[in-house]
Structure 1
């Protein structure tokens, strides 16, 4: 895919310094780190390497990526590596995609309590699926699932929700057989929604009672326990959005599909249309339109665009991909092997890889742009260094 003409990094490099000066004291460390990383990504500021073709004389310099999980340019290689690492977890069964969304009223509180409420969103949604699936009246099985947190809508608004990928079945309570769900149907969405609502609101009340919620602006009055209880009461009566998409065409499509969710950021560079000191324009999808072309162009003030991007920066060391059930924990490999044995299929035999080990491989995937031959790294250099193999003769070391 060709490089976009406009990138988030361009906007940050041009307008980021002024935005930081105007918002001193209002940006947290994680947001400042994300801005700095995106601005430096694939520039001489991070050093790089010299790649040479093994068939012709072509050479070029490639600067290092920042590997920040919020950087639009770093996610494609990270997604490929993640997909390869998780391939051995695939099972020859139907897979389902379930989405859990927080109501807008709670999303407002989550904006100032990201770590606490995003963690609760993970916990409540996973517990909902595992509890309903274990019910003998439903599936009666111990399931495994992978959850991915997204915090944005297409217009960069704050819209926290969980994308969950679940195999269509699970192990029987005694672990001796695979209990498959009905073809094309996993669990009742209405049942999932009601339990999810109860678990999340119970957890939210517990956080409030323990004094773990920060409340600002017109929400300050909710610090009082009776006021918070009165505010949350209507939320126990409305329908919470839980959406189950049709099953995938086959397990082969699952990881490719999921990797697009696991490593997606608030906005990709390819959605950007234009940017200047006053306005940033980008393409977005209007889901309110049921038929016809949903794609539109939104124009935001440049400062507002940067603000919306930064509200989706996660707290440091907060995991946005989590695994539960038989896909969780250090014993995941053994549990998946047990499931495969029950299903009568052999494992892939590939070595396991840590979830966050997303280092760029030394072997270059991209072929030579001149002849198509394989490219190899012949030299690496750090920030401020001049590559010996590409330096002018007067700068070459003796």
Structure 2
């Protein structure tokens, strides 16, 4: 969440169709804009989750299972089966670009951005969070120890992948299958990524020209001479003969 509390969830991008065994593109039967019925997906996801939970218990890998005995586990499974699981699906209002921009916040940032940290007062850290019902920006204060603990929950353990690709984007077949999908859908090849200079990149991300003089606002900074780096030689270390003695006072 906005205050760094644990909020476990998974984002998945699914193509509306796929390739058959002959490499031809197959769209859903009900139309090019239909993927699968939401209610059926809810029941299927519930069954897969409960099946994985039961298998994990039988394999003995649920180290911190809150259910203490078989009766409690049976009541939990019965409640999970009776409860409606909700799968919400809708097309993005802004198209694929909006989806990629939204997911980039998860894949290229960890937990919180710098602009949401308002200040640090002694052992209290002030954060800006999502506006409340009155549409006013809210601020929360957390003890430094709690902030660090919540932040570290968002750091992935070793060997855990943040993004996984399947199907068309699976690393082993991506080159061949993506080419087949583009040919079947008559989509042109993507353009090569544009390579920009460091000055152009800084100008784009900072929204200001860093080569303009900050004092007169009209002059331009230019390189007059480039000095090669010089290595500093370490100072010689004075060594004393093992048999020498040090005298006190002037020689």
TM-score, with normalisation over the residues of structure 2?
0.70
Task: Tell whether 2:33 aligns with 1:188.
Answer: no
Name the counterpart of 1:264.
109
Flag the 1:345–1:183 CA change in 2: closer, same or farther, 3 A. closer
- Pick one of 239, 246, 249 that aligns with 2:91: 246
Indicate conservation of the 8 Å contact 2:110/2:155, yes or no: no
- Structure 1 CA distance, aligned partners of 2:131 and 2:76? 30
- Any unmatched runs of 5+ in structure 1? 1-152, 352-360, 380-386
- Structure 1 CA distance, aligned partners of 2:24 and 2:166? 20
Deviation of 1:324 (Å): 1.8
Task: Tell whether 2:210 aligns with 1:369.
Answer: yes
- Pick one of 228, 232, 237 that aligns with 2:73: 228
Please report the RMSD computed on the Cα atoms of aligned residues, expressed in angstroms.
3.6
- Structure 2 CA distance, aligned partners of 1:343 and 1:298? 49
- Structure 1 CA distance, aligned partners of 2:14 and 2:8? 20
Indicate conservation of the 8 Å contact 1:388/1:396, yes or no: no
- Structure 2 CA distance, aligned partners of 1:185 and 1:319? 30
Deviation of 1:210 (Å): 0.8
Name the counterpart of 1:209.
58
The structure carrying a bigger strand percent of its residues is 1
Name the counterpart of 1:169.
17
Deviation of 1:238 (Å): 1.8
Indicate conservation of the 8 Å contact 2:92/2:99, yes or no: no
Q: Residues 65-80 of structure 1 correspond to what in structure 2 (within 5 A)?
A: none
The structure carrying a bigger helix percent of its residues is 1
Which string of whole-angstrom CA distances, capped at 9 and with x for unpartnered residues, describes residues 204-261 of structure 1?
2211211112217xx2xx2544433333331222233433243253445554443233
- Structure 1 CA distance, aligned partners of 2:118 and 2:15? 39
Name the counterpart of 1:341.
183
- Structure 2 CA distance, aligned partners of 1:174 and 1:370? 56
- Structure 2 CA distance, aligned partners of 1:362 and 1:249? 27
Which string of whole-angstrom CA distances, capped at 9 and with x for unpartnered residues, describes residues 324-360 of structure 1?
2222231111111111111122323759xxxxxxxxx
- Pick one of 229, 232, 251 that aligns with 1:388: 229
- Structure 2 CA distance, aligned partners of 1:199 and 1:342? 33
- Any unmatched runs of 5+ in structure 2? 204-208, 213-219, 235-251
Report the secondary structure of 2:171's partner residue. coil
- Structure 1 CA distance, aligned partners of 2:172 and 2:92? 28
- Structure 2 CA distance, aligned partners of 1:262 and 1:241? 25
- Structure 2 CA distance, aligned partners of 1:308 and 1:167? 34
Q: Residues 51-66 of structure 1 correspond to what in structure 2 (within 5 A)?
A: none
Report the secondary structure of 2:111's partner residue. coil
Name the counterpart of 1:321.
163
Flag the 1:334–1:267 CA change in 2: closer, same or farther, 3 A. same
Indicate conservation of the 8 Å contact 1:279/1:301, yes or no: yes
Flag the 1:154–1:173 CA change in 2: closer, same or farther, 3 A. farther
Deviation of 1:174 (Å): 4.9
Deviation of 1:269 (Å): 1.4
- Structure 2 CA distance, aligned partners of 1:286 and 1:215? 36
Flag the 1:223–1:286 CA change in 2: closer, same or farther, 3 A. farther
Range with bigger deviation, 229-238 or 241-250: 241-250
Flag the 1:362–1:175 CA change in 2: closer, same or farther, 3 A. closer
TM-score, with normalisation over the residues of structure 1?
0.46
Name the counterpart of 2:172.
330
Q: Residues 122-141 of structure 1 correspond to what in structure 2 (within 5 A)?
A: none
Indicate conservation of the 8 Å contact 2:92/2:98, yes or no: no
